[in-house]
Copies of this chain bind each other. A is one copy, B any other.
């Protein structure tokens, strides 16, 4: 058995590209996927639907969780957020006692309003120190083309986080170590909501000043929520905060951005959802984020305006004006209201 065995759960775009990174960093990599056809494809060195022409040679795939997880000292979870709890419960029996679990998933669980690392800790019944989050400006298609990319490995155990970072470091993928898991989780979720709002402004033909304003005030909302949940405000200056936010808001490929863009151009919500061909994560998580914010007394006017548009309570122009014309306040993360 290899001393550097990594298991990646999920054969979508991010799972496949993360497997590539791990392979290139010198690990022995197994991908678990649910569908046998996908497993066969990966074992034949391709995964066309998700990574196009990029070859997955040297990466093994299996439909057996036991086969994938047993023996791996690094288990990366890249399944849809709604499946994380079920998946974790299913692989828990095969997890090595010393293995680190990496969450590549962004989301808030419906009902519990828990972030993904908390769901993993809960479902695995393991120490929180063993569960880490990977987050940053990580468009998988660019990583697959070896474009220089930075990320954050956030874990409460600094030694473990440093070790995990060294296991996934390649010439094109540069992990920074962080200790603020909550900050990374909040950043990964709220960015999608802000990307919808930035998309809407772009669809309304507003310019760079407005875009930058929304990104900036959106980051402030993200930081306020994070700080209320126990994150450090500095995290939001980093790759998992601002970095990921800027990338998501710059990518026309982002489903959240294009969904907002269509709303800004005048489509109604159901037309825009239909045109999006897939889950718009920001639209799914927005009510959960607002529920958390409400519980903590955190003001999130951009998220609230976005939700009001999603609920059909206001049109997108009215919502934008409401954000822009709210009372003037001080700048910065500690501002009391916006």
B177 touches A331 (CB 8 A): yes
B328 touches A209 (CB 8 A): no
B331 touches A152 (CB 8 A): yes
B residues near A235, Cβ cutoff 8 Å = 331-332
Which of A171, A211, A212, A331 lies at the interface centre, i.e. has the most chain B CB atoms within 10 A of its CB?
A: A331
A208 touches B139 (CB 8 A): yes
Binary flags per residue of A130-144, CB closer than 8 Å to B gives 1, else 0: 000000011100110
Q: Say which one of A42-50, A106-114, A215-223 lies at the interface with B.
A: A215-223
| Closest Cβ neighbor of A330 among chain B residues | B177
A208 touches B250 (CB 8 A): yes
| Closest Cβ neighbor of A222 among chain B residues | B237
User: With contacts A139-B209, A334-B234 known, is A328 near B175, CB below 8 A?
Assistant: yes
Binary flags per residue of A217-257, CB closer than 8 Å to B gives 1, else 0: 10110010000000011111111101110110011000000
Query: A138 vs B207: C-alpha distance in the bound complex, in angstroms?
Result: 11
Q: How far is the CB of A30 from chain B (nearest CB, A)?
A: 26
A90-114: which residues lie under 8 A (CB-CB) from chain B?
A: none
B residues near A206, Cβ cutoff 8 Å = 147-148
Is A199's CB within 8 Å of the partner chain B? no
User: With contacts A139-B209, A334-B234 known, is A217 near B328, CB below 8 A?
Assistant: no
Q: How far is the CB of A4 from chain B (nearest CB, A)?
A: 18
Query: A142 vs B201: C-alpha distance in the bound complex, in angstroms?
Result: 14
Binary flags per residue of A146-162, CB closer than 8 Å to B gives 1, else 0: 01111010000000000
A174 touches B324 (CB 8 A): yes
User: With contacts A137-B216, A234-B334, A239-B216 known, is A143 near B328, CB below 8 A?
Assistant: no
| Closest Cβ neighbor of A138 among chain B residues | B209
B residues near A138, Cβ cutoff 8 Å = 209
Q: How far is the CB of A268 from chain B (nearest CB, A)?
A: 23
Is A55's CB within 8 Å of the partner chain B? no
| Closest Cβ neighbor of A243 among chain B residues | B216
B residues near A220, Cβ cutoff 8 Å = 237-238
User: With contacts A150-B216, A150-B217, A246-B246 known, is A332 near B210, CB below 8 A?
Assistant: no
A263-316: which residues lie under 8 A (CB-CB) from chain B?
A: none
Is A259's CB within 8 Å of the partner chain B? no
- The listed residue (B165, B239, B251) touching A328 by CB distance below 8 A is B165
Query: A247 vs B215: C-alpha distance in the bound complex, in angstroms?
Result: 10
B residues near A247, Cβ cutoff 8 Å = 208-209, 211-212
Query: A262 vs B328: C-alpha distance in the bound complex, in angstroms?
Result: 40
Is A320's CB within 8 Å of the partner chain B? yes
- The listed residue (B238, B251, B328, B335) touching A216 by CB distance below 8 A is B238
Is A85's CB within 8 Å of the partner chain B? no
Query: A215 vs B136: C-alpha distance in the bound complex, in angstroms?
Result: 13
| Closest Cβ neighbor of A247 among chain B residues | B212
B residues near A166, Cβ cutoff 8 Å = 328
Is A188's CB within 8 Å of the partner chain B? no
A161-200: which residues lie under 8 A (CB-CB) from chain B?
A: 165-166, 169, 171, 174-179
